[in-house]
Structure 1
């Protein structure tokens, strides 16, 4: 039993701090499947249905709801109750007429931020890197593990607006001075502000960005900045825009 538990489940006291479960209530919780998001930055679908949305009283009821195809992630039905849901994913409950975007709050916890049904047709994806493949096409690799081919001129750090679920590029947000950025890591996680200066180093030191917010400014790593728009965010955020 211990071997089976270690493969299929995760001990609660070892679960990430942002999971909304009591570490001592039971011994085990569900272990996420391998997928687009690492365990440190994701929530299993069962935890979302049972513990966050509370539309199921227990794990069995949550599995039934998920297996019936009542939950969509990025426009696709997901029937794996262990599927890892992470930053910027769009969750829809068509029967209930509700939709959410997964975002960090200022404590670094992943939260389900309610969105209007009309905002479920697109997703923001940060370009992590890009490669040239056979035929001269450029493949963009995104923060959520997906990728797409493009002829466009995009750089690492730019954010692509993807239609979902077909993954067609609808628009883009350049990583540049004056854009609005959401901080996704470090002590300023969950805060947003204006990109004032991008510092590119020519050494092993990481690139940094100066962010201005409410008259104050701070420096953070470039990799922690997720741009959301030029003059205002394209999406609503926890606590308002």
Structure 2
């Protein structure tokens, strides 16, 4: 912890540091103790952890490929090994080769993954078939009319789609933010609060109801059926502590 402590001492000691310079100092460092809980990184052996690069997604919703290859898939032991895998152009994200830090495809091992949240709000390494990996779901964050009356929508990954189908609707959703992150259910009704956040009420597969903000809702299917396979044995249903205990005991008895 000496390296991280030294940086903190330097920041506190230099009272004359400007706001821009302070921002640069903080930007370059990412402490392993401060990484989001969605990273499933586990216990870090060093003070620092990989930091994702900015792209079409928000920084807090991104995951470094280094952690995906090293901590989850175990295809690399160190940062340099994971970097060499990326530089050999072996990793495809949404069908395109990515060499730096959706649907992730590794041709050499014939594996395809979709990055989704599990029922506890953590990134899950969900294996899918090659046919399912040919498409991805997008969330519309903006709709407008452009020049010459051309309607268009903007998705969460910065795609612009002209002439969208106005009849596309769905009511199966996954929560992508807040305390209910990762839960899946049917959209019930929506409460409008002008000047504040609109609230959406959702009911999961076992009948548990919860509420979240409209911005946290991501539609994943039409009617009661999801268009993508869901990770984990609970399929987006968050169990209570007692239910998790009973499930573990049942698994032990079955062994």
Q: More helix per residue: 1 or 2? A: 2
Q: Which residue of 2 aligns with 1:162?
A: none
Q: Which residue of 2 aligns with 1:221?
A: 213
Q: Which residue of 1 aligns with 2:17?
A: none
> 1: distance between equivalents of 2:160 and 2:80?
36
How far 1:136 moved relative to its partner? 2.3
CA contact (8 A) 1:12 1:22 kept: no
Which deviates more, 109-118 or 215-224? 215-224
Q: 1:77 to 1:133 in 2, by over 3 A?
A: same
Aligned ranges 1:141-156 → 2 under 5 Å: 141-144=154-157, 146-154=158-166
Matched, 1:112 2:96: no
Aligned ranges 1:49-68 → 2 under 5 Å: 49-68=69-88
Which deviates more, 208-217 or 111-120? 208-217
Give the number of equivalent residue pairs: 212
> 2: distance between equivalents of 1:212 and 1:23?
34
5+ residue gaps, structure 1, are 83-88, 155-171
5+ residue gaps, structure 2, are 8-20, 236-255
Q: Which residue of 2 aligns with 1:188?
A: 180
How far 1:60 moved relative to its partner? 1.0
How far 1:14 moved relative to its partner? 2.3
Aligned ranges 1:62-81 → 2 under 5 Å: 62-80=82-100
1:25 is paired with a residue whose SS is coil
1:187 is paired with a residue whose SS is coil
> 2: distance between equivalents of 1:184 and 1:41?
9
1:92 is paired with a residue whose SS is strand
2:67 is paired with a residue whose SS is helix
1:10 is paired with a residue whose SS is coil
How far 1:61 moved relative to its partner? 0.9
TM-score by length of 2: 0.75
> 1: distance between equivalents of 2:232 and 2:50?
30
How far 1:105 moved relative to its partner? 1.3
Aligned ranges 1:107-186 → 2 under 5 Å: 107-144=120-157, 146-154=158-166, 173-175=168-170, 179-186=171-178
Q: Which residue of 1 aligns with 2:14?
A: none
CA contact (8 A) 2:203 2:209 kept: yes
* 1:22-80 per-position Cα deviation (integer Å, ceiling 9, x unaligned): 55510222221111222321211111111111101111111111011111101100011
How far 1:147 moved relative to its partner? 1.8
TM-score by length of 1: 0.79
Stretches (4+) displaced over 6 A: 1-5
